Structure 1
Amino acid sequence: MLSFKRYPTTVAVALTLAAPLMTALPARAAELEEVIVTAQKREQSLQDVSVAVTAVSADDLLRSNIKSIEDLQTRVPGVTFGNDFSFAKLFIRGVGLNSSFAGIDPSVALHVDGAVVAQASAQFASLFDLERVEALRGPQGTLYGRNATGGSINLITAKPTQHFSGYTNLSIGGSDLSYGLDSALSGPLTDAMLGRVAVHYQHHDGYGIHTGSGKDIDDLNVIATRAHLQFKFSDNVDLLLSGEYAKEDDHSKSVHFIAPMFPVPPQPSLRALGLPNVLANSRNVGGDFRPSFESETWSTTATLTWQLSDAVALKSLTNYREFDDQLVQDFDVSDTVNGGFPPAPTSTMQLQAIGDEQFSEELQFIYEGDKLRGIAAAYYLQESIDSLVLLGRDPVRFPERSRVVVPATLDVDAWAVFANFTYAINDLFSVKAGARYSAEERTVENRFGVASPVDPAAVFDPVRRASRDYSDFSPEVGVELRPSSDMMLYATYSEGFKSGTANLGERVPNLVNPETIENFEAGIKSRWLRDTLLLNVAAFKYKVEDAQYDRTYAITAPPFYAARLENAATTDGRGVELESSWLATDRFRLSLSGTYYHIRFDRFLSQNPINPALFGPAGSSLPPEDLAGNSPRNTPDWTAELSATYKWPLTSGASLALTAAAAARDKQYYTEFNDDITGQDDYTLYDANLLYTTPGGKLTLNLWGKNLTDEMIVSGIYVTSTARTITGTYLPPRTYGATVGYKF
């Protein structure tokens, strides 16, 4: 648990920041603003939603310079984010993606205006021109079209406005030479048509270098745009057409050298490639080639809303999205300090390319009566995933000569019907019930090609195909109790389902069973001190069955390892989450949130690939390790976030606002084996910003800094058996800069 004795620096800094501000507080306080969300598919006050949900407003995103999903983990309780091999690793309450191959659904869904972004590799969303971000914790099967066992992150974009308006924000940063542009125009085009267009550009130089070429890595170069056209056919019929495009072309998302798999290799062939000329814990990488990453995505969405009466509405949500990316890296990621460049291409070069096409349709019936309110919906998703993995030699210039070639496809046809309704028996007591029926068909096809060192090209296995149908029924029941207008207590039981699937990196396709969750949750949402103090608490207990994990097995012949997707684990989780905000005066606001989790494996047997005994004389007869009692990946036992904002009104009519924030995390692990070398020790990140607003509020200047103490934090770990190395990715170093904004 969070201990003041154990973490004196964090507490001391927070109190130091808050103390001088609190001494200057006037006695009179304003009221907290009401936050409206659509977490349950209808507009509600955040305090009336019987779900653990956090909302981050557009103003908060701008002031804190939050530009990506990764940045949200310091603002949203229970959320952690990592990445490896260009897969976003979103976790909520210890439930997330446990594989680094295409074809496995994320456990945490990402939606843009209600339309799902199906693949984890496409979840590196840039947060631009948003109204807010909503993060829902726990299974969300009876409210959203796509299954989500861990939770859902919903991006609510800014919509066209009745009056002409717009803004432009220009940013420039410090040592990493960052700069960016966000701009939008919105307003009426005709009496019955509104429009909005937004553009986003973000760039920063590299946080490290490729030691062979001396050029940047972990840089960023992203451009994106979004447009809305809204047709007001009548007072009751509305059509919103949305289009989005984004492209990234840089040298990010490659893994870094952490340590050799075996400090003392049990045999010479298991020595980490690149040794001994390596430097661990470095933002630099070595390898034969400079790593590179490219991605491109576009989508169109049509949202038709027909208000049949004051109580009844029909909505159609139609979405089409295409996504492609390519990552090139060298698993020999040692930070080489001497030697020629480039050496002869080795067997550790990797090219990974993913293409995804998805189409979805969701038809919603929304009812908002005096006592009964809720949603019933039908959903359909069709998805086609293409994956290509090339390993060895020079897969960029001579792909046909790669040592290992794995082309694979996965086709998904899924449909579901679901409903969620709440009935108010009286002003004090309401009951909630929901259910979801899901059905999916998945078909996988792959070839596997391998070449010996002397073969001119890979020799392919026969084409292998496999298909399987899945179905599931997931109920939800709950109660809401409102003893006063300022307090709601709730309790729910819900189930969730993540479809079975196949790992597109395996030699023989293996369609595994679905992953399921049973979740109990109780909470309180309340306002105190004449609406100046918000206090929300949620407690949960869940069990995940048949959790999908990549398991690595030791084999006797090179490359000495084989991976297989399996229903490997059962997980028991329980925890408590706190969110609070105190508006002490018109000038001073203090926010505190945190989580305490006890999430452990109840059943998990697996071999640890970094156990050298597996390659000893008795290695083949060693039983798997019992991992019961270990923590899942990306799941610290506790987290805490504290922020304080103080505003100074100036005599000119302008204002200054200073915000200081601290986000602390307990130790977490990035593999299920909980080895120290594959984890990250507890840490605290400090951010701050100073916002100047001119009279009238049209012009702003924001000075911001993030990770002010320049902590080097591992955000993901991957054991790379090909190069016999332990590799990882890092959170950004200290960044700082200024943003000038103008709005009208």
Structure 2
Amino acid sequence: MTHSTKYRGFLGLIAATLVTPAVAQQEEPTFLEEIVVTSTKRQSTLQEIPVAVSVVQGADIRESQVLDVKDLQFLVPSLRVTQLQSSGNTNFVIRGFGNGANNAGIEPSVGVFIDGVYRSRSAAALNDLPNLERIEVLRGPQSTLFGKNASAGVISVVTAKPSLDDVNGSASLTVGEYSQVIVKGDVNGPLSDTVGFSLSGSYNQRDGYYDNLAGGDALGELDRFGVRGQLYFLPSDSLEVRVIADYSELDEACCGVANLVDGPTGGAVRALGGNLVSNAPFAYQGYYDFTPTNQFESSGISAQFDWDINDMVTLTSITSLRNLARLENGDVDFTSAPLLDPDVGNRTDVDIDTLTQEFRLAGATDTTSWMVGAYLFDEDVTQETGLIYGPAFRAYADLLTGGVPANPVTGDPGMGPLWDIENGLTGLFLAMLPSLGEPVPGGTFYGEGQGNIELTTMDNQAYSIFAQVDFDLGDRATLTLGANYTEDEKDVTLDQTATDVFSGLDLVEVGGLLIYGGAFQQALAGGADLATANAIATATSQALAPIPCSATNPPPACNPTLALQPLQFQRPNINFPNSVESGHTDDEDLTWTVRLAYDWTDEVNVYVSAGTGFKASSWNLSRDSRPFARDLPALGDAGLLVPNIIAGGRYATPEEATVYEIGLKGSWDTVALNLALFDQEIKGFQSNIFTGTGFSFANAGKQSTSGAEIDIRWMPTEVFEGTLAATILDPTYDSFTGAVGPSGPVDLSGQTPAGIHELSLTAAGRYSFTMGNAAGFARLEYIYEDEVQVVDNVLKEFASREVSTINASLGLAWENGFEAMLWGRNLNNDEYLLSAFPSVAQAGSLSGYPNPPRTYGLTIRKYFD
């Protein structure tokens, strides 16, 4: 289907909905309730606020079995949330823009706020939150009010305040498939006439759905616990204080990875006694020689003060202290061959301490309403990562270099050698002539326990000042002007300990030595004198050593050792700061918003807006952090180069977003309609793509998206409510040279970015009924996303995604406070890939993350007061 066809169908749908209100106006009853919005730091209603925002109410959250923020994507089509190789590795995307996963140095482009407090990493937002009032999703750049790291949008989670009237609470028990048990409870009420409290807790346990055929724990399990307490003070009519403390933890085996293409290296894995489930993305089975570790603890405390200084001015202060500790270790080859050390195999240990402070002054006159504020951010990140070889890695490398024969029993075709010698790596380096120095002892390369350990730190301070003013232009028009100045400084250190001997070899030099030795011997054998032999050998070495091997230039016509470079998985790094690399970035930006809103009628308002967004430089806190090519000459002059160093990037420069938008909002007795048409771009989009041996982190020159969003609520009777939300996107890489492609660097300029669906929609219907003295409901949801290539560096024929999922729930509520609900998610067992990547250290193989299978369960809840 072409873009134009999709847009015509979409606009036809809009036209049809605009006819419906005319009929609705003939009906007297009013069934739709107002939806409150506070994410713009002022209280308004969804239909009044001239901003593209989606709101999911608390009742919808409970009935849809939304357990944390990542489940929200099934109700908001512009939002995409993916959880990949660990429980805390979650990426938020709005309108096709977003990043922040896989690297502690990359802050999200989508800001997540819980009760006004910024969560700087996605793992800190994955709570089973109690007493949710609503979740608001602001679409498009929001930097004017939220400062840095809101260049793609904002997710604002709002929980209920404690009651000052009477004691009440609830308790619930959920049982579901895969032995799932969820227990939740909360209580809140007054401690006095002016002080209220609330206390809540949750426990969520579920067995894994992804079987480990090697005998370990199943993956995809849940094991989470959280507790949250609030104190609410109302000492006077002009002062309100809210203090919140929370703690949550998880300890899970996550996440299942499927083999999409079993390449030639599969033979080497099996030759070592390992195994993998071949070419079966939705078998939900795999082989792992150890169970992945996913542990994190998140805790924090915040205090919000709202003081009405007088009838016209209010002062708000929000202070927070948070800590996030995360420990992960995974079997990243995703086979049962013991290629990695099970204790430190691919370990990441992160500790993040965050302090935030926001001050706001807000007021109003007869013709204006205004807000000014300041925001402070101070964060310290400490991270230790390691990749350590296990007992079978050397044998695996020998098999790859020596070749794997075909297996007539299994039908495995085997693989040819990367280096045409009999004994793999051992034979290669024992072939070095004694005249060139001592041979490399057997067992030197890829020994058990070899690898790299990196210790990185990042100290981040940022501040912003902002202001926004709404001017009333008569009775129906409002002009909004806003601006934000942000400054962000980061200081980063890297200290690497490298023990991977083979990755430290300069194969250009090594190959030259081998060629030199061969030419030297041949010259002497031919009767040349020593000076002539040296000249021939030197010329041969210089001519052949730098030439890369290829299909048209195979060994020995080139330096044959260069064919082994793909096996240099962990090249040494240069520690910094040093005399050339300061490890410091200092970014500043002025973002702005201009918006004109007009109340067309009492039921319809329209708006047009333009704005910008900003995200500061992000640092690559991983083993893939490399010096910029521009710094290599100076590093060489300073004597800081290490053997076999390669260029890369230490950080990505800032993202700068711009959006132009027009919108319409209408509200009638039984119909509410929200429509937005937009054109949005991000210059310097921070792209982070896995290549099979590491992550490529760089700026895309420019990525743009134009699109349309529609959200309809229809309640023709008191017993039925229908909703439809749809998003159409037309994304493009306007410029992106040097991007990671399936076979190396490519120019993606003018191409469609992978992973962004052109059409996404969510439709839901809810029917209310009575059964005896119980009030009941039946809810049905349908989620659709058209087919898309999952990632840029894996071809669509191997990894595409199309979503067509059905969720449902059926509930009863009795007058005595008891409720029971049957629920099911992915009832039609829809199968699609969340992501895909070149398999780790397995050239020619591809892997991917399958979506969770069908789940269902029963929830029983008791309310008391």
TMscore range, shorter length: 0.7 to 0.9
Q: CA deviation at 1:126?
A: 2.6
Is the contact between residue 260 and residue 280 of structure 2 (CA under 8 Å) also seen in structure 1?
yes
* Structure 2 SS opposite 1:484: coil
Candidates 719, 722, 741, aligned match of 2:841: 722
Q: Report the equivalent of 2:778.
A: 658
Q: Structure 1 CA distance, aligned partners of 2:705 and 2:152?
A: 12
Supply the AA of the counterpart residue of 1:36: V
Q: Report the equivalent of 1:636.
A: 757
Candidates 191, 194, 201, aligned match of 2:193: 191
Q: CA deviation at 1:495?
A: 0.3
Q: Report the equivalent of 1:158.
A: 160
2:582 is the counterpart of 1:442:
no
Candidates 688, 695, 711, aligned match of 1:579: 711
Candidates 619, 639, 661, aligned match of 1:521: 661
Is the contact between residue 168 and residue 181 of structure 1 (CA under 8 Å) also seen in structure 2?
no
Identify if the C-alpha distance between structure 1 residues 40 and 511 changes in structure 2 by more than 3 Å, giving closer, same or farther: same
Supply the AA of the counterpart residue of 2:322: R
Q: Report the equivalent of 1:351.
A: 347
* Structure 2 SS opposite 1:142: helix
Name the TM-score, length of structure 1 as normaliser. Answer: 0.87
Q: Report the equivalent of 2:594.
A: 477
Q: Report the equivalent of 2:726.
A: 594
Alignment map for 1:597-612 (pairs within 5 Å): 597-606=729-738, 608=740, 610-611=742-743
Candidates 222, 226, 229, aligned match of 1:227: 229
Q: Which 10-residue stretch deviates more, 431-440 or 564-573? A: 564-573
Q: Report the equivalent of 1:95.
A: 97
Identify if the C-alpha distance between structure 1 residues 84 and 212 changes in structure 2 by more than 3 Å, giving closer, same or farther: same
Is the contact between residue 390 and residue 448 of structure 2 (CA under 8 Å) also seen in structure 1?
no
Measured against aligned partners, the alpha-carbon deviations of 1:577-622 in whole angstroms (never above 9, x if no partner) come to 01001101011111111011101111112354642xx6xxxxxxxx
Measured against aligned partners, the alpha-carbon deviations of 1:370-405 in whole angstroms (never above 9, x if no partner) come to 43123211011001112222112369xxx9945121
Q: CA deviation at 1:562?
A: 5.9
Q: CA deviation at 1:239?
A: 1.5
Supply the AA of the counterpart residue of 1:534: A
Is the contact between residue 217 and residue 253 of structure 2 (CA under 8 Å) also seen in structure 1?
no
2:291 is the counterpart of 1:172:
no
Q: Structure 1 CA distance, aligned partners of 2:689 and 2:861?
A: 49
Q: Report the equivalent of 1:625.
A: 746
Q: CA deviation at 1:241?
A: 0.9
Q: Structure 2 CA distance, aligned partners of 1:729 and 1:277?
A: 14
2:680 is the counterpart of 1:542:
yes
Alignment map for 1:391-410 (pairs within 5 Å): 391-393=387-389, 401-410=449-458
* Structure 1 SS opposite 2:61: helix
Q: Structure 2 CA distance, aligned partners of 1:99 and 1:200?
A: 26
Is the contact between residue 169 and residue 188 of structure 2 (CA under 8 Å) also seen in structure 1?
no
Q: Which 10-residue stretch deviates more, 658-667 or 719-728? A: 719-728
Q: Report the equivalent of 1:468.
A: 585
Q: Report the equivalent of 2:621.
A: 504
Measured against aligned partners, the alpha-carbon deviations of 1:120-166 in whole angstroms (never above 9, x if no partner) come to 34333333321111111001112224430111111111111122243
Q: Structure 2 CA distance, aligned partners of 1:717 and 1:310?
A: 57
Supply the AA of the counterpart residue of 2:308: Q
Q: Which has the larger radius of gyration?
A: 2
Q: Which 10-residue stretch deviates more, 233-242 or 571-580? A: 233-242
Identify if the C-alpha distance between structure 1 residues 710 and 167 changes in structure 2 by more than 3 Å, giving closer, same or farther: farther
Q: Which 10-residue stretch deviates more, 580-589 or 168-177? A: 168-177
Identify if the C-alpha distance between structure 1 residues 227 and 146 changes in structure 2 by more than 3 Å, giving closer, same or farther: farther
Is the contact between residue 265 and residue 842 of structure 2 (CA under 8 Å) also seen in structure 1?
no
Q: CA deviation at 1:517?
A: 0.6
2:74 is the counterpart of 1:64:
no
2:383 is the counterpart of 1:387:
yes
Q: CA deviation at 1:464?
A: 0.8
Q: Structure 2 CA distance, aligned partners of 1:221 and 1:344?
A: 25
Q: CA deviation at 1:30?
A: 3.9
Q: Which 10-residue stretch deviates more, 102-111 or 675-684? A: 675-684
Supply the AA of the counterpart residue of 2:820: L
Identify if the C-alpha distance between structure 1 residues 459 and 657 changes in structure 2 by more than 3 Å, giving closer, same or farther: closer
Q: Structure 2 CA distance, aligned partners of 1:543 and 1:518?
A: 5
Say how many residue pairs are matched.
690
Measured against aligned partners, the alpha-carbon deviations of 1:174-217 in whole angstroms (never above 9, x if no partner) come to 33111112211111101221111111111111111222224221
Is the contact between residue 50 and residue 490 of structure 1 (CA under 8 Å) also seen in structure 2?
yes
Supply the AA of the counterpart residue of 1:549: S
Candidates 493, 509, 532, aligned match of 2:670: 532
Unaligned stretches of 5+ residues in structure 1: 7-26, 554-558, 615-623
Supply the AA of the counterpart residue of 1:111: F
Supply the AA of the counterpart residue of 1:413: Q
Q: Structure 1 CA distance, aligned partners of 2:739 and 2:343?
A: 25
Supply the AA of the counterpart residue of 1:68: D
Q: CA deviation at 1:346?
A: 8.6
* Structure 1 SS opposite 2:146: coil
Unaligned stretches of 5+ residues in structure 2: 7-26, 392-446, 504-569, 578-582, 628-649
Is the contact between residue 377 and residue 419 of structure 1 (CA under 8 Å) also seen in structure 2?
yes
* Structure 2 SS opposite 1:710: coil
Is the contact between residue 405 and residue 448 of structure 1 (CA under 8 Å) also seen in structure 2?
yes
Identify if the C-alpha distance between structure 1 residues 61 and 206 changes in structure 2 by more than 3 Å, giving closer, same or farther: same
Is the contact between residue 741 and residue 793 of structure 2 (CA under 8 Å) also seen in structure 1?
no
Identify if the C-alpha distance between structure 1 residues 235 and 146 changes in structure 2 by more than 3 Å, giving closer, same or farther: farther
Q: Structure 2 CA distance, aligned partners of 1:679 and 1:485?
A: 49
Q: Report the equivalent of 2:84.
A: 84
Is the contact between residue 712 and residue 733 of structure 1 (CA under 8 Å) also seen in structure 2?
yes
* Structure 1 SS opposite 2:710: strand
Is the contact between residue 109 and residue 148 of structure 1 (CA under 8 Å) also seen in structure 2?
yes
Candidates 468, 472, 476, aligned match of 1:424: 472
Q: CA deviation at 1:280?
A: 2.6
Name the % identity: 25
Q: Report the equivalent of 1:675.
A: 795
Name the TM-score, length of structure 2 as normaliser. Answer: 0.75
> Higher strand share goes to which structure?
1
Identify if the C-alpha distance between structure 1 residues 596 and 272 changes in structure 2 by more than 3 Å, giving closer, same or farther: farther
Q: Which 10-residue stretch deviates more, 593-602 or 561-570? A: 561-570
Identify if the C-alpha distance between structure 1 residues 470 and 541 changes in structure 2 by more than 3 Å, giving closer, same or farther: same
Q: CA deviation at 1:647?
A: 1.1
Q: Structure 1 CA distance, aligned partners of 2:760 and 2:291?
A: 36
Q: Which 10-residue stretch deviates more, 140-149 or 243-252? A: 140-149
Is the contact between residue 111 and residue 154 of structure 2 (CA under 8 Å) also seen in structure 1?
yes
Q: CA deviation at 1:273?
A: 11
Identify if the C-alpha distance between structure 1 residues 495 and 272 changes in structure 2 by more than 3 Å, giving closer, same or farther: farther
